[in-house]
Amino acid sequence: MAFEELKSDFTDSQRAAKEYIESSAEYYKLKTFKFVMRGVIALTVVLFLGTLAMLAVFFLSVAAAFAIGNHLGNLANGFWIMGGFYVLLGILGYALRNKLESPVLRKFSEHYFEDK
């Protein structure tokens, strides 16, 4: 009789362990899905807003180049000046790339390790 009880307890323990593993797997699937979907939504928003911002910068740059060119009396000079401005901006961004890395990592780690 003690052997039957032990066998029953062992079977119940196996069933409980299996249910725990299955529910844990489902939990991590849902957690992974939530994390991936947040990333996809964030990427979509960033791409959309980035595209709009780039279009705005493009048109403002062309307008500024025309305005500078008209002021100087030569449209080509306005475009050269705007091009030089963007080259300087690129060099500045390249020089500051290491200082920008830490805040970006910190921001993404907040989202990754967020416990919602």
Question: What sign does the dihedral 63-64-70-73 (CA atoms) show?
Answer: negative
- In the structure, what pLDDT confidence band is assigned to residue 44 with cuts at 50, 70 and 90? very high
H and E: helices and strands count for the chain? 3, 0
Tokens for 87, please give them: 């080259």
pTM for the predicted model, two decimal places: 0.61
Q: What is the pLDDT of residues 53-80, one digit of tens each?
A: 999 999 999 999 999 999 999 999 999 9
